[in-house]
Amino acid sequence: MSVTDKITFDIGTSLQQIQYIADFLQEWCQEKQASQAAHNPAGQFEPYKTEIFSDDQIYQLNQAYKKAPALLTYQAKILLDECLNMAQAGVEVLIKARQAGASPALAAGSLASAIERDIKRMHSLLLSE
């Protein structure tokens, strides 16, 4: 099995998970605020000492979710640029090998090894868990 068979780039699932977390935290925060309002009808709101997430943290999470598509687009552009660079380098290697009288099969094998190495590198840079 080649490295490319192992790579998964499921942006949709990642965004759904981020949205689920953001929705859950926002709902949780609203429930806490409603509970606090019920216990303090005079409008005297004090944050619970045991609160885990502040309104600011919820806001930051939502902002991160909104920026996620742009970040994934940027990562996809980097990946595409790297693929184009690999293809160009591969063609140059094959041309030089042919001009030097090397076996096309040997040159293609060397190119395949280089591409495999570059794919592993891109996988670790862009798709790390």
Listed residue (94, 84, 92, 88) closest to 122, CA to CA = 84
pLDDT of residue 19: 66
14/44 Cα distance (integer angstroms):
40
* Single-letter code of the amino acid located at 32: K
What is the C-alpha radius of gyration for the chain, rounded to an integer number of angstroms? 25
Low-confidence ranges of the chain (pLDDT < 50): 1-8
Q: Is the pTM of this model over 0.75?
A: no
pLDDT of residue 17: 63
Token reading at 83: 């693929």
pLDDT of residue 18: 63
Token reading at 127: 């798709």
CB atoms under 10 Å from CB of 30, counted, come to: 11
pLDDT of residue 6: 44
pLDDT of residue 3: 40
